[in-house]
Amino acid sequence: MKTKLIAPSLLSADFGNLQRDIEMLNDSQADWLHIDVMDGRFVPNISFGFPVMKTIQKHAKKFMDVHLMIVEPEKYVEEFISHGADLVSVHYEACTHLHRTIHHIQSLGAKAGVVLNPSTPVLMLEDIIADVDLVLLMSVNPGFGGQKFIENTYKKIAETKDLILSNNSTALIQIDGGVNIDNASKLFDAGADVLVAGNAVFSAESPERMIELLKV
Ligand code: DX5
Ligand code: ZN
């Protein structure tokens, strides 16, 4: 069965009106809420931490999808889960002991995802694909919203799909970065299950309508 989920990224929300934007997403057809955490070390930008997570947890009614763009994510996964994360995704490039971290996340009752930067080959996942709940393929270099989609992502979706099938894995494929109305249906057709969209949703005249359009 094909999954077509949209995960708006709060990174592009209006932080002065965070409650309003979260409530808008609660009432929309958004499936997940994508939460981008950046530390200024793994990526050249800092987004937010636990005080903001508390506000998100208080108001969000959707599945909370936390994307950690931080070094040593294993130190913080427990705290993100206690702040409401339903899924925690960690970067392959940031984890020395990825297998341990993935199983630690799952042992705390959350789903676990692994993220690949655009330059990291899919074959690096060969020995972890059977363990993860989700593979997040970055389609921009992480750190900022509103960047241009990298076309090589289509090739990586096909490779990830093959890897999932040949290992009887149940992992979903998520795409993050530069997703918009021009590429969303192509990405679903190529095998993506979940699309993250920040700029496309929040710069739209009607974010709710844009979320609907991205699903078609
Ligand atoms: C980038 C983040 C993305 C970002 C996507 O580092 O991981 O989730 O918010 O934003 P858009 O959709 O604007 O490219
Ligand atoms: Zn993200």
> What CATH number does residue 202 fall under?
3.20.20.70
Show the domain range for 193: 5-215
Q: Total domain count for the chain?
A: 1
Kindly give the number of the ligand 1 atom that is closest to the alpha carbon of 178. 14
Give 169 Cα–ligand 1 centroid separation in angstroms: 26
Percent of the chain surpassing pLDDT 90: 98
Which positions are catalytic?
A: 36, 176
Per-residue confidence (pLDDT) for residue 210, from 0 to 100: 98
Tens of pLDDT, residues 78-104 = 999 999 999 999 999 999 999 999 999
Q: How many CB atoms lie within 10 A of CB 20?
A: 11
Per-residue confidence (pLDDT) for residue 1, from 0 to 100: 46
Regarding the beta carbon of 8 and ligand 1, being less than 6 Å apart is answered no
Residue 46 β-bridge partners: 39
Q: Angle at the Cα of 214 (from 106 to 45), degrees rounded to 5?
A: 60
Regarding the beta carbon of 198 and ligand 1, being less than 6 Å apart is answered yes
Asked if 177 and 139 touch (Cβ cutoff 8 Å), the reply is yes
Mean pLDDT of successive 10-residue segments in the chain (216 residues)? 87 98 98 98 98 98 98 98 98 98 98 99 98 98 98 98 98 98 98 98 98 95
Per-residue confidence (pLDDT) for residue 2, from 0 to 100: 58
